[in-house]
Amino acid sequence: MRMGTKVVRAGIPPTRQGEPFATGVTFAGTYHVAGDPTTSPYTYGRYHNPTWTQYETALNQLEGGQAVAFASGMAAVAAVFGVSLRPGDVLVMPSDCYYTSRLLADGFFAEMGVEVRKASTAGNAQLQCLEGAKLLWLETPSNPGLEVCDIAMLAAVAHEQNILVAVDNTTATVLGQEPLALGADFSMASDTKALTGHSDLILGHVATRDPNLADRLRSWRTQIGAVPGPMEAWLAHRSLATLELRLERQCRNALEIARFLTTRREVTGLRYPGLPSDPAHPIATRQMRYFGPVVSFVLADEVRADRFLNSCQLVTQATSFGSVHTTAERRARWGGDDIPPGFIRFSVGCEDVNDLLHDVEQALDTL
Ligand SMILES: *Cc1c(COP(=O)(O)O)cnc(C)c1O
């Protein structure tokens, strides 16, 4: 079955006469369990939930491994760190990956005695600091800089040295790129972003092909308690069905907007892995099916960037990305990323691209 069919069908139970096509959400704190609890598939809401099971069944088929859903993308990041890293271990991560992932590594995990080494995503620079590492963390395309690294090559080199490899696949989604097929041990994503794509929930997951690691991830979730809400899991599964429709449209729109931005003299530092002129394009075409919904670029300074954003009528100022609604923000307002003050992270939605182009053009004209 192709990915485009899987996203629509995966995890939907066999149809039965007179039964609804899709099962509803199961809200449950506890379940009726008499006697020996091992005879019951469900016992208590922190351990398991039928709505999670359905969502994870869908993700299993898409990821090609066992998926474990978490309360948020950060709960999923923390689970991978938590099941793999012990005091004295070395974590190699991108210097330009998602800010909160770096904060977690440099804060709680470094305080516990984990050595954190960082190198840029561009140029596969993490290769240079692998010696003696336990876990190699990759994020490609990186958020917000949209740098790309070669997952298959890095995973092969890391595995020769017995290093576990994790990919934060949030920007691409599993439809855009399949980390486990490219050799990663963990495929992690914030499902808050493009995977679910409606700006209405917080969720994450980790997938792995190693049953032992999958068990450890589930134990971590149960003991830490970073469990997804049943409603979120249900909404996420429902949203999966339109993933390819959304992503196809978003990526087509993103490429058109990136092309338009190349014609504007106000714009520098334009990045979109789908642009043939982008430095990341050669690796991206080898490992990605879709280039993602995010475009980034730089305006002269903070004042000009804010004027651009305030002049947009259709594009909404908001953090996060990957939604059906086009959003943008001046990323440096948060701090923590090595980017210029006028850096814009632009997340392209599913609107008619002509309306988007018109809005961006009239906002740039005000500069
Ligand atoms: C948003 C994001 C996360 C964290 O996800 P939450 O769902 O907000 O916890 C992790 N990695 C990347 C690349 C992200 O963009």
CB hemisphere CA count around 241 (13 angstroms) = 8
Domains, the chain = 3-240 (3.40.640.10), 243-365 (3.90.1150.10)
pLDDT of the residue at 14: 87
The Cα 89–Cα 112 span in angstroms is: 10
- Segment 250-265, tens digit of pLDDT: 999 999 999 999 999 9
The Cα 226–Cα 327 span in angstroms is: 28
pLDDT, averaged across the chain:
97
Nearest Cα to 116, choosing from 161, 85, 139?
A: 85
Evaluated on CA atoms 239, 241, 242, 243, the torsion sign reads positive
Tell me the DSSP string of 102-113.
HHHIIIIIHHTT
Residues labelled as active-site residues = 46, 98, 168, 193
Alpha carbon of residue 30 to chain centroid: 31
Segment 66-80 mean pLDDT: 98
Alpha carbon of residue 6 to chain centroid: 19
- Segment 272-316, tens digit of pLDDT: 999 999 999 999 999 999 999 999 999 999 999 999 999 999 999
Contact 79, 224 (CB under 8 A): yes
Nearest Cα to 250, choosing from 354, 143, 353, 357?
A: 353
Query: What are the structure tokens assigned to 121, written together?
Result: 């995503």
What type of residue is 11? Answer: G
Q: Is residue 354 very low, low, confident or very high in pLDDT (cuts 50, 70, 90)?
A: very high
- Segment 218-231, tens digit of pLDDT: 999 999 999 999 99
Q: Does residue 13 carry a pLDDT above 90?
A: no
Ligand 1 centre distance from Cα of residue 49 (Å) = 23
- Segment 88-133, tens digit of pLDDT: 999 999 999 999 999 999 999 999 999 999 999 999 999 999 999 9
3-state secondary structure of 315: coil
Q: Is residue 23 very low, low, confident or very high in pLDDT (cuts 50, 70, 90)?
A: confident
Pocket test for ligand 1, best of 80, 81, 100, 206 (most atoms within 8 A of CB): 100
Ligand 1 centre distance from Cα of residue 345 (Å) = 14
